[in-house]
Amino acid sequence: MTPIAPVFLGGGSGGHLYPALAIAEALGRQRPDARCVYLCSGKAIDAAILSGEGVEFHPIPAAPAVMRPMGLARLVRSWGPSMRAARAVFKELKREGFDVRPVAMGGYVAAPCVQGAKADKLPVLMVNLDAVPGLANRWIARRATRVVTAAPVPGRDWEQIPPIVRSAALPARPTPECRTALGLDPDRRTLLVTGGSQGARSIGDFITGLARTHPDTLEGWQILHQTGGHANDEYERAYAREGVPAVVVDYIDRMGDAWGAADLALARAGAGAVAEAWGAAVPTLFMPYPHHKDQHQRHNAAHIVEVGGALILDDHVDAESNLRAHADGLSALLVSPDRLAAMHAALAGLPRTDGADRVARMLLGS
């Protein structure tokens, strides 16, 4: 049997990388001899995530499509070198006897790699993650052999699959044990605050502002706050001043423990965060990234909002504006265990988040 080498094309954030890692994990269960390779960006976050997983990866010099003269110039200059770098990896894997199977995970890293794959006559499987596909994904979809999507995309006949979640992002032990592993009180209700792998300053400022202005609503709660490395000391002091127990960290390696510890989450609405909240059945207040023109994060969360498992809050960026708009609503939720239980039940009733297994079977031709 010819050994296979799935090559995952995408990077620049955890949102592109973690679903690829989930698919590779599923492949490993079905075909242990598969050699999974990652073509990623040169950003530090990519190296941190992929080196931490101990996988084979190759940064390429891709640049995002920024619609300004300098940004477009960088895109044009990087396209050829990125395409050639991808083809060099494909060529080496083929020389070593592997059946190379490119998997485009979307975004600016994937696009020139897909062009390289087409030049080498390699079939491309595209995995779309967002409910509103970006420019790169729309471009890739026209060149891919097969397109699947983990979110419903109106007007596209792409094949729908369930959300993609890696096992490390799903709770694997009882709630008290998850909390203890993270340095939290095992018996205290927990609010998870996360802006994703790179953090979200406006979310952090909002929740620390809530601790200052509505301290009674956080009575009996503790906070696990993933900052992405922004303002850790500032947030720790803010929580301490108000007497709110909190663990503030740059980054959480095992998100399964974080979701397992949480009674409620406050998060961005990237496709990965939405899928993880769904898979872990954690009631979540989503604050979509406010600067995307297409507002795709809002659409990502639409389904679990519709079933009653989540809410969407507009991020006004300014902390005082967010407090005026949302403090009372979040406070009401924090003191409403029955409402949180109903949200949890709504999420627990959703189908399994087994999209990674589906994609793995496609790659194996089954």
> Under a CB-based contact definition with an 8 Å cutoff, are residues 309 and 334 in contact?
no
- What's the average model confidence in pLDDT over 59-84? 79
* pLDDT on residue 294: 66
Condensed to tens digits (0 to 9), the pLDDT of residues 98-119 reads 999 999 999 899 999 999 999 9
Phi-psi region of 228 (alpha: psi -120 to 50; beta: other; left: phi over 0): left
* pLDDT on residue 268: 92
- Among the residue ranges 72-76, 125-129, 234-238, the one predicted with the least confidence is 72-76
- What's the average model confidence in pLDDT over 127-154? 93
pLDDT greater than 80 at residue 366: no
> In this predicted model, which residue has the larger pLDDT, 170 or 230?
170
* pLDDT on residue 21: 97
The three-state DSSP-derived secondary structure of 160-217 is ECCCECCHHHCCCCCHHHHHHHCCCCCCCEEEEEECCCCCCHHHHHHHHHHHHHCHHH
For residue 187, give the nearest of 195, 179, 196, 197 by alpha carbon. Answer: 179
* pLDDT on residue 296: 73
* pLDDT on residue 303: 92
> In this predicted model, which residue has the larger pLDDT, 230 or 24?
24
* pLDDT on residue 355: 96
pLDDT greater than 80 at residue 39: yes
* pLDDT on residue 348: 96
pLDDT-based confidence at residue 63 (cuts at 50, 70, 90): confident
- Among the residue ranges 25-39, 198-212, 250-264, the one predicted with the least confidence is 198-212
Rounded percentage of the chain residues whose pLDDT exceeds 90: 80
Residues of the chain with CATH 3.40.50.2000: 4-162+353-363, 169-348
Class of domain 169-348: alpha beta
Question: What's the whole-number average pLDDT of the chain?
Answer: 92
- What's the average model confidence in pLDDT over 162-191? 97
For residue 192, give the nearest of 220, 226, 151 by alpha carbon. Answer: 226
- What's the average model confidence in pLDDT over 4-8? 97
How far is it, in rounded angstroms, from Cα 44 to Cα 82? 18
* pLDDT on residue 198: 59
Q: What predicted TM-score, i.e. pTM, was given to this entire model? A: 0.89
How far is it, in rounded angstroms, from Cα 73 to Cα 70? 5
* pLDDT on residue 230: 76
pLDDT greater than 90 at residue 62: no
| DSSP of 120-134 | TT---EEEE-SSS--
pLDDT greater than 60 at residue 197: no
* pLDDT on residue 253: 83
Condensed to tens digits (0 to 9), the pLDDT of residues 199-257 reads 578 999 999 999 999 989 999 999 999 998 778 899 999 999 999 999 999 888 889 99
CATH pick for 4-162+353-363 out of 3.40.50.620, 3.40.190.10, 3.40.50.2000, 3.40.50.300: 3.40.50.2000
* pLDDT on residue 291: 66
| DSSP of 203-253 | HHHHHHHHHHH-GGGGTTEEEEEE-SSSSHHHHHHHHHHHT--EEEES--S
> In this predicted model, which residue has the larger pLDDT, 154 or 25?
25
- What's the average model confidence in pLDDT over 133-158? 93
Condensed to tens digits (0 to 9), the pLDDT of residues 314-359 reads 999 899 999 999 999 999 999 999 999 999 999 999 999 999 999 9
Amino acid in the structure at residue 328: D
